[in-house]
Structure 1
Amino acid sequence: MAEGQTEGAMDALYTIIVECEGGTYISQVNAKDERQALLKWCQTFPLEDKVPQNVKPLVHEVYTELTEYDDEITALNGLVSAWCADQLFNDKHTGINIIKTAP
């Protein structure tokens, strides 16, 4: 078994696409499901060099919604392995798309 993996479900590759503050940010993470993918994104996204300082607080907002308020991740109608999470950030709608890219 690979380092960091546990028995049971294998991690899949997820692509996270975020539109925020006039920019589009694309990241990839390995996770067991879409919720875990978004939580893992919260850990890795702020570390990426390309992320402007004014966008990094979005991570705290998303993490809080997922962990404290059990916010929903919505499956996209008519699509397979694609979800979205909406977030209000700086009084603006922020779209977060989660796509299971590889099993």
Structure 2
Amino acid sequence: MNTYTFIMEFRGGTYISQINANNLKEGLIDWCKNLDVSEIKYLGEKNKGELLSIIDSEIPTPINTVINVWHFSIGIKAGFLMVNIVKTDVT
């Protein structure tokens, strides 16, 4: 299992969480499913559902010159999300 750290910027807030997953794609989907909308201003269950419907086809872009770091951006009705993902060594 790998640990992935997700750093999301959304409507003026920064939200950070970690997910354990076998690979990046699995981590991305698990991260979205586990978002706690009560902690994210302006992102309710309806908007989370919209995000879940989009996230499966999302392919994070690797960041040049650094390893194990990716980025993606998604627009939903509630606003624009920018997310950085870091494969995190927890040892």
TM range (shorter): 0.7 to 0.9
> How far off its partner does 1:58 sit?
4.6
- The structure that has the greater radius of gyration is 1
AA in 2 matched with 1:55: L
Identity %: 27
Change (3 A) 1:50 1:71: closer
CA RMSD of aligned residues (A): 2.1
1 CA distance for matches of 2:34 and 2:25?
Answer: 15
Provide the residue aligned with 2:20 in structure 1.
Answer: 30
Change (3 A) 1:21 1:79: same
> How far off its partner does 1:91 sit?
7.1
Instruction: Provide the TM-score with structure 1 as the length reference.
Output: 0.72
AA in 2 matched with 1:64: S
Secondary structure of 2:29 counterpart? helix
Instruction: Provide the TM-score with structure 2 as the length reference.
Output: 0.80
Structure 1 position 14 matched with structure 2 position 14? no
Ranges of 4+ aligned residues in structure 1 off by more than 6 Å:
none
Unaligned runs of 5+ residues in structure 2 are none
Unaligned runs of 5+ residues in structure 1 are 1-10
**Contact in 1 for aligned 2:11/2:80 (Cα 8 Å):** no
